[in-house]
Structure 1
Amino acid sequence: MDSYSATIIDAVEKVKTAVVKIEIFNNTNKKEQLSGTGSGFLFSSDGYLFTNSHVVHNSTNIKVKLHDGTSRQATLIGEDPDTDLAILKISDADFTPAKLGDADLLRIGQLVIAIGNPLGFHHTVTAGVVSALGRTLENQNGRMMDSMIQTDAALNPGNSGGPLINSDGEVIGVNTATIRGAQGLCFAISINTAKEIASQLIRFGKVKRAYLGIVMQQIELVPKLRAMHELPNKQALFISEVSAGSPAEKAGILSGDIIHSFNNMMIETSDNLFKQLTADKIGQFHFIGIIRSNLKKEFRITPIQRN
């Protein structure tokens, strides 16, 4: 067997028992009828699992079909439509969860594997590469989702909520979306962002976050620019759009600026920035480090609460 195939097979073996099928049922004429499906994966031995918010939104009867074919009734612990993430809980314990990786270690061109239940086909595997990192994508509610991983690993309806894994079988993203009418443009939510969201949903049932109003893309910083400004960063965030009336616009930040720090903390990825935008930052001014036309600048910015 060739090494490429062996790598994929080994990675899938490590996570496949943690991948589940999400089934949404409606009661019609006192009969239980399947109305939708999606994917998910266990991340704790006591039955907590990730899926997408759009898979379970407004659902009251959710069932989870495990790898062995058995089903469990699921409870919705909480959801965050802004990041399209939801946390479910199933009963019993001693499940074998997926191992969560570190999305900050990803590199463009790296092999990734998607597992899910597209169009109801149980445990379908597709493979591709990381096409881009730190993308911002508009979700179904018109909100911008940050920290997105772009991949060409094929996704179809029903893949939503399944894991995107690396060659070691570690989950580095939660599959969420494709671009209609395009081929090879598929997206996953960074697992680092998903961890932060899960923590808040399990503790509080909702997410409270600070909002800046920018569309970003993770980029490599050229050595000359790093040396010129004595920056420790190897990467930074390129701003491709600033929302009208947003805190970023009011602070004087422009499209084309590059974020390299926030409150003197180095920012290399959108996950780094997301971790800084906690609820305690709302309504308080903070310093954001910007490179504009090869000049190093600092702006004061006051995040607002995202409703």
Structure 2
Amino acid sequence: MLRKLFHVEPIAHEGHGFETGDTVTPVEPETLLDAFSQAVVRVVQRVAPAVVGLHVVRSLGMPQRVAEVPGAGSGFLIAPDGYVLTNSHVVHRARRIVVSLADGTELPAQLVGEDPATDLAVVRVQASGLPVAELGDSDRLQVGQLVIAIGNPLGLQASVVTGVVSALGRSLRGPDGRLIENVIQTDAPLNPGNSGGPLVDTRGTVIGVNTAIVAGAQGLSFAVPANTAQWVVGQLLREGRVRRAWLGVVGELRSVPGRYVPERGEPRAAGVAVLQVVEGSPAARAGLRAGDIIVSLHGVPLRSPTDLQRLLSRAPVGSTVTLGVVRQGKLLTLQAELAAEPATSR
């Protein structure tokens, strides 16, 4: 399966051009194609043995009439003792998970943990001495760089496609509605079943986890960056979930006079109107009330609830944040000590 998207948020990215006076040495086209082909072959030989297929079964319907719905996706081994990285939406609420190794062996798998906010999950099979794919540094990627995607589209095992990095720093919404930031956009032609498979550079290191395409479009594919995956995997292996900082409010976008947000220098600004404060939450302990409007966090103006969510996601659990709050026409400053987001049964 591969999530289909209809909206993404573009973030500008500056490219690099040729400087005046640069010279280009002519190279025979056949030489370039041969070099590219050899690079792809080397990557496939190195990474493909670690790429797996996932077959899942979900139970849908009422207790009296339960239907078993099959699903499929891709993943790749990240540890020789059977840990597999894939997408959350591939294994979410699966009653049964079976992993198909590159040699055709099928093994039952257990869910270690998942993070719908980044659409990542880790499952494990009981095996040892398995080949692994190495997670690289996605911060070193450049627009135009060649990439290779390996997966199991439509059940076709170990299919290989190539493309380039079309853009960096994209944002898209995960299955739980949160924004996934710094997403990699490529033109690699992915299909249902590629979800969870590795996006690899020409050195054979994984720089992303393929997660979504834009429905009805061509050459618009997206991958969660490897650096995000490394952080999430560490959390899932330790705790089975990702601990994020939590404030404990329900809010909506609200316009406020610009004088409350002088940093913007505009006659009108925006804030997050608090509709509800969760009892016992950091927001409640800080003195936030329903009707308050949060206009800044640590002096950074808020333009939407998404801005508040983004800034909170970067704050460590247990840290103290400074909130700029408009209450009954007055600008207040409140301090809130962030707690870990409560676990939910998604």
Q: Which of 266, 280, 288 in structure 1 is aligned with 2:318?
A: 280
TM-score by length of 1: 0.72
How far 1:135 moved relative to its partner? 1.5
Structure 1 letter corresponding to 2:233: A
How far 1:115 moved relative to its partner? 0.7
After superposition, residues 166-181 of structure 1 pair within 5 angstroms as 166-181=201-216
Residue 97 of structure 1 is matched in structure 2 by: 132
State the identity as a percent: 46
Residue 56 of structure 1 is matched in structure 2 by: 91
For 1:65 and 1:178, locate their aligned partners in 2 and report how far apart those are by CA, in whole Å.
Answer: 24
Larger Rg: 2
How far 1:178 moved relative to its partner? 0.7
For 2:246 and 2:147, locate their aligned partners in 1 and report how far apart those are by CA, in whole Å.
Answer: 30
After superposition, residues 137-148 of structure 1 pair within 5 angstroms as 137-148=172-183
How far 1:277 moved relative to its partner? 3.5
Q: 1:152 to 1:211 in 2, by over 3 A?
A: farther
**Unaligned ranges ≥5, structure 1:** 213-241, 256-269, 288-299
Tell me, what secondary structure is at the counterpart of 2:79? coil
Q: Which of 51, 75, 83 in structure 2 is aligned with 1:19?
A: 51
Q: 1:19 to 1:175 in 2, by over 3 A?
A: same
Q: Deviations over 1:154-200 (max 9, x none)?
A: 11110000000000110011110011122211110111111111111
Residue 199 of structure 2 is matched in structure 1 by: 164
Structure 2 letter corresponding to 1:148: V
Residue 5 of structure 1 is matched in structure 2 by: 37
How far 1:7 moved relative to its partner? 1.1
How far 1:140 moved relative to its partner? 3.1
Q: 1:243 to 1:134 in 2, by over 3 A?
A: farther
After superposition, residues 115-134 of structure 1 pair within 5 angstroms as 115-134=150-169
Residue 222 of structure 2 is matched in structure 1 by: 187
For 2:245 and 2:192, locate their aligned partners in 1 and report how far apart those are by CA, in whole Å.
Answer: 31
How far 1:13 moved relative to its partner? 1.1
Q: 1:14 to 1:35 in 2, by over 3 A?
A: same
Tell me, what secondary structure is at the counterpart of 2:209? strand
For 1:67 and 1:88, locate their aligned partners in 2 and report how far apart those are by CA, in whole Å.
Answer: 16
Residue 216 of structure 1 is matched in structure 2 by: none
TM-score by length of 2: 0.64
Report the number of matched residues: 249
After superposition, residues 219-234 of structure 1 pair within 5 angstroms as none
Q: Which moved more, 1:177-186 or 1:83-92?
A: 177-186
Q: Which of 146, 160, 175 in structure 2 is aligned with 1:111?
A: 146
**Unaligned ranges ≥5, structure 2:** 1-32, 61-66, 248-269, 275-292, 304-309, 324-333
The answer on whether the counterparts of 1:135 and 1:147 sit within 8 Å (CA) in structure 2 is yes
How far 1:107 moved relative to its partner? 0.7
Are 2:296 and 1:250 aligned? yes
Across the aligned residues of Structure 1 and Structure 2, the Cα RMSD in angstroms comes to 3.4
How far 1:244 moved relative to its partner? 4.3
Structure 1 letter corresponding to 2:81: D
The answer on whether the counterparts of 2:79 and 2:132 sit within 8 Å (CA) in structure 1 is yes
Structure 1 letter corresponding to 2:74: S
